Amino acid sequence: MNNKLILSLCVAGIVTISGCTTVADMAGADSATLNVAAAQGFNKTIQEASANKTLDTSSATYRRINSVFSRLKPYGDQINQTGQKFNWQLAVLKSDQVNAYVAPGGKVVFYTGIVNKLNLTDAEIAAVMGHEMVHALEEHSKNKIGAQALTNLALNIGLSAAGNNVGQLGAAAAQLGSQVGVGLPYSRSLESQADQGGLLLMARAGYNPQAAITLWEKMNKLDGAGGSSFLSTHPSNSQRIEAMRKNLPAAQAIYNKR
Residue 123 or 228, more confident: 123
Compute the distance between CA of residue 87 and CA of residue 77 in angstroms, rounded to an integer.
10
Q: Is the pLDDT of residue 249 over 90?
A: yes
**What is the pTM for the complete model shown?**
0.76
Residue 91 lies in a domain: yes
- What is the span of the domain harbouring residue 150? 3-162+173-257
Does residue 236 sit within a domain?
Answer: yes
Q: Work out the end-to-end distance of the chain between its first and last CA atoms, rounded to an integer number of angstroms.
A: 60
- Residue 116, in any domain of the structure: yes
Position 108 pLDDT exceeds 50: yes
H or E element, residue 257: helix 238-257
How many domains does the chain contain in total?
A: 1
Q: Are 213 and 244 in contact (CB under 8 A)?
A: yes
Mean pLDDT of the 49-57 span? 94
Distances 122 to 41, 72, 223 between C-alpha atoms, Å:
27, 12, 21
Q: Does pLDDT of 248 surpass 70?
A: yes
Residue 52 zone, left/alpha/beta (φ > 0; ψ -120 to 50; rest): alpha
Give residue 191's pLDDT band: very low, low, confident or very high (50, 70, 90).
Answer: confident
Closest CA to 56 of 46, 42, 43, 67: 46
**Nearest Cα to 145, choosing from 17, 48, 10, 37?**
37
Residue 168 lies in a domain: no
167 inside domain: no
Tell me whether residue 138 is one of the annotated catalytic residues: no
Q: Answer yes or no: is pLDDT of 163 > 60.
A: no
Which of 132, 138, 139, 191 is the catalytic position?
132
Is the residue at 111 inside a domain? yes
Within a domain: 77: yes
